[in-house]
Amino acid sequence: MISEEEIDVNPYDAGKSNKPLIAGVLMIIVFILAVVAAGQIFFLDMDAVNLEELEGREEFSVELVETIMNVCGAIILILGVFLLIGGFLAIKRIHWGVALAASIAGVFTIGPLFIGSVLSLVALVLIFMSKDEFNGKGEVQPSQFQQQTDTFQRPSDQKEKFCPECGTKMQYGEGYQRCYCPHCQEYK
């Protein structure tokens, strides 16, 4: 039986810190900042920009500067989408490497006053520190509470078994793939 001391406030996150959650939220905030920065670049009025110094040079033109700005905006937007994906992976605690790479990519989104870069660095440190909390396979690991509650469920295709020592009806433990005797309190 499960005692009350074994159940935390949230039994599905027992023994886990909030570092991946905080990192994921920071990465999503950096994504929003990247979208804002890319939008500012895309909708920048080139007529309002002072390009008088470039007018005399042959190698620079307003069209070239506009093209460079649009490419930079597209790169920031792509990095931002990568950040969004990495943020969700960090919140779900899956694919540590992808979440880490996304936080590294977030450093290059810059954002207003380098806020995006700073928040991405904080997310990078938090993800790096919480590597052990991630499951690399993309599947959410069942918590100890889930494994204990699943222990006493028996698949319908299994025949009823009785304990060879005491004769009590045994229960099939799905998580352990063995039968459990409630009288003897052991798996057999």
Give the residue extent of every domain in the chain: 17-133, 144-187
Q: Is the CB of residue 173 less than 8 Å from the CB of residue 179?
A: yes
Q: What average pLDDT does range 84-90 have in this prediction?
A: 95
Give pLDDT, residue 138: 53
Q: What average pLDDT does range 6-19 have in this prediction?
A: 59
Measured between alpha carbons, how far is 130 from 94 in angstroms, rounded to an integer? Answer: 11
User: Which residues are CB-neighbours of 90 under 8 A, at least 6 positions away?
Assistant: 20, 21, 23, 24, 27, 99, 102, 103, 123, 127
- Token pair belonging to 157: 């295709």
Looking up tokens 């999503």 gives: 28
CA dihedral 11, 13, 154, 168 (to 10 degrees): -50
Measured between alpha carbons, how far is 120 from 110 in angstroms, rounded to an integer? Answer: 9
Q: Please give the residue that has the higher pLDDT: either 130 or 62.
A: 130
Give pLDDT, residue 105: 93
Give pLDDT, residue 1: 47
Minimal CA–CA distance to 133: which of 23, 26, 25, 28? 23
Q: What average pLDDT does range 164-173 have in this prediction?
A: 80
